[in-house]
Chains A and B, each alone.
Chain A
């Protein structure tokens, strides 16, 4: 005596449509390509590396980058700081460091790590951190 459920099961298996035999992992997600972290980073590094980047583009880039739900990688910040140097804008360079610290939120270990990674660049360009200037507190 074969139960009705088993009969139904046999019935579906004989059909070869992909929808019935496809594994559970295939869902109806968008087929758009998801940008990897490396692609995101290199896109932004390239953006700030433009030799004739102007002040508007620097501001637009930084404000957009800070708008994302992430703390930018040191290599992106390095590119942005060098852009500040090309534009002779030390104040913006310091502001960018402040913004990174603010973006880290409760994760207090991110900012020291970023500064540590950027130390060679900061020394090369002569950028002082907000802490060195004393503007990190009121």
Chain B
């Protein structure tokens, strides 16, 4: 550290500043907004890098002067004003919910409903007739065939049919 300061004294501060001047003042890059410290309201970082209000009005400036004295002399409104100069939202305001969930649920119901309409339309206009195997007469013959074959006679289909009385078991 000491060595560096001695070098600076040898080189002379003038050479550093004149080098930029020689280049016509274009040596320093423009400071972009996003490179500067920003204000954030965060629960996990209660004191942000900068105050919320950067340009103070004359009343705010005089309030800031008053802040240097006893705080007991400040009224409630003045204290709140000082808080609002430094911070945008209080913890209660930053933590409050947005009610966005209501929009989400409404959207869900809407699109499910719309899908239902699409399905009904499809049934009417897109799908053709069902196969003849769905006809009531055919189904009756099918059931009779299954009973004749003794499908699942122990615990399943035919087990529920009373062969003596030719009816389903009660």
Contact = CB atoms under 8 A, between A and B. Distances in A.
Interface in B47-89: 47-49, 67-68, 70-74, 76, 79-80, 82-83, 85-87
A91 B85 contact: yes
Contacts of A134: 76, 80
Contacts of B87: 91, 95
Interface stretch (B92-100, B122-130, B157-165): B92-100
B79 A92 contact: no
Contact of A63 (B45, B67, B85, B91): B45
Contacts of B95: 102
A126 B73 contact: yes
A86 to B, nearest CB: 11
B68 A88 contact: yes
Given A99-B91, A101-B91, A130-B90, A90 B79 contact: yes
B46 interface: yes
B43 interface: yes
B44 interface: yes
Interface string A43-68: 00000000000000011001100110
Specify the main secondary structure of chain A where it touches its partner: helix
Contacts of B91: 98-99, 101-102, 130, 136
B94 to A, nearest CB: 10
B46 A98 contact: yes
Contact of A96 (B46, B68, B70, B90): B46
A127 interface: yes
A21 interface: no
Contact of A135 (B49, B70, B71, B80): B80
A128 interface: yes
13 contacts: A58-B47, A91-B83, A92-B86, A95-B46, A95-B87, A99-B46, A102-B43, A125-B71, A128-B76, A133-B83, A134-B76, A135-B90, A137-B92
Interface of A: 58-59, 62-63, 66-67, 85, 88-92, 94-96, 98-99, 101-102, 125-128, 130, 132-138
Interface of B: 43-49, 67-68, 70-74, 76, 79-80, 82-83, 85-87, 90-93, 95-96
Given A126-B72, A133-B80, A133-B83, 7 more contacts: A88-B67, A88-B68, A91-B85, A95-B46, A126-B71, A128-B76, A138-B92
